[in-house]
Amino acid sequence: MNAAVQFVHEQLSSKKEFPNFKAGDNITVNYKIVEGGKERIQSFRGDVLKTQGTGATATFTVRKISDGIGVERIFPFYSPNIDSVQLNKVGKVRRAKLFYLRERSGKSARIKEKRF
């Protein structure tokens, strides 16, 4: 009985396979937008400020600069509207939450890329 319940739960809450990313990484999130009756995919490219939560309520926050204005967006990991996530750059940071980037602009807001 328990295995059947777990199977149904896995079918309903299907987590897409994302690349492993953390705070400081630069990612592109492609998500579905419904406008009227039409559905299209829009991409949001920026740096990950934080990941938060566990299980079904886990989210990640992405920040980008658009026309000189900082834009942050919070995405749930389990959202059915997220089409895909691409990892562009792996950042070299020393903390898990990068809120200090909100006060910075220009060169000081850059994150160094990790070399492998």
pLDDT at res. 11: 66
Average pLDDT, the chain: 89
pTM for the model stands at 0.82
- Whole-angstrom CA distances from 96 to 1, 14, 23, 31, 75 are 40, 26, 6, 24, 17
Q: What is the pLDDT of residues 17-58, one digit of tens each?
A: 788 999 999 999 999 999 998 999 999 999 999 999 998 899
pLDDT at res. 17: 79
- In CATH, which of 2.30.30.790, 3.30.360.10, 3.30.70.1560, 3.40.50.300 is domain 15-95? 2.30.30.790
Q: What is the pLDDT of residues 76-91, one digit of tens each?
A: 998 889 999 999 999 9
Residue spans of the domains in the chain: they are 15-95
